[in-house]
Amino acid sequence: MAARDPIARLTSIGGAAVGAVGLVYIVGALSLSLRYEGFGLPGQQTAAVTPREVLLAAGLRTLVVWVALGVGVVLLLTARQQRLAKAIQRWLRTRAGLVVVVVLVVALLFVRVMWPLATVLAILVTTYATVTWDAGSARRLVVIALAIAFVAVVYEADRITYLVESTCVNVNQPAGRACGLLVGQQDRGFYLGVSDRPGVTRLVFVPAARVSSSSTRKRRARVADRYTRTRRKTVVARLPGIRVR
């Protein structure tokens, strides 16, 4: 039995690593899908042609701050034998605690961004996981990781400005020039989000064989007006328009 422990440990580490990479990949795809949608592109379709390394980089970039904050919250909850987490759990079981949480959640439904509500829910879930399962429990780690990822994606759904890469590609046969939001650059060519007119953007593929030169610059861009209005509605006003995709 003891001889199997190292193998089981390596298997667990390998599974955790694969799961972590998968979560980063999914968060990257979701965050870029929301970004593309904000600029008028079909979000899921555009994310599907985005290179995997770009999706992973976007996932890491999206998660880095929220992971740091999440680790800080977990350390705070688990300090001194989970004293704070247990105190919160006891308080939530009282009538006063339940009333405060319900009032807070209802109040946050009328805030014009969703991430504060998502953060409160994530803290409650993290508190439950901290008290219920041991530190080494896979369930606890998975629940906490999903809670952090949930807040990160919801925050991306609230954003109205992004730092984007604008790319211009000079082409031949026939000669021309295409400029737009860089979605991906591969050996096969460039994927660009090209705006024909304000608020209307289409995904364009430029084969590498036709490219004579290209240039890219970073700039801060704002999502289309209709998405700006949608992303600044109260949470309760957004609920009827939420679609499961």
Write the CA distances from 96 to 18, 24, 85, 92, 128, integer angstroms: 42, 38, 17, 8, 18
Do the domain assignments include residue 176?
Answer: yes
Q: What is the pLDDT of residue 242?
A: 56
Domain check: are 150 and 117 in the same one? Answer: yes
Domain check: are 55 and 168 in the same one? Answer: no
The CATH number of residue 171's host domain is: 2.30.30
Choose among 70, 81, 77: nearest CA to 118.
Answer: 70
Segment holding 110, helix H or strand E: none
Retrieve residue 106's tokens.
């209802």
Domain check: are 122 and 183 in the same one? Answer: no
* pLDDT, tens digit, 9 for 90 and up, residues 193-224: 998 776 678 899 999 999 999 999 999 999 99
* pLDDT, tens digit, 9 for 90 and up, residues 143-153: 999 999 999 99
Domain count of the fold of the chain: 2
C-alpha to C-alpha distance for 135 and 15, rounded to whole angstroms:
17
Do the domain assignments include residue 50?
Answer: yes
C-alpha to C-alpha distance for 106 and 235, rounded to whole angstroms:
10
C-alpha to C-alpha distance for 233 and 111, rounded to whole angstroms:
8
* pLDDT, tens digit, 9 for 90 and up, residues 64-82: 999 999 999 999 999 988 9
Name the phi and psi angles at 74, rounded to 5.
Answer: -65, -45
Do the domain assignments include residue 230?
Answer: no
Q: What is the pLDDT of residue 114?
A: 96
Domain that holds residue 172: 161-222
Domain check: are 167 and 92 in the same one? Answer: no
Domain check: are 127 and 80 in the same one? Answer: yes
Domain check: are 112 and 15 in the same one? Answer: yes
Choose among 148, 149, 106, 43: nearest CA to 235.
Answer: 106
- Give the global pTM: 0.88
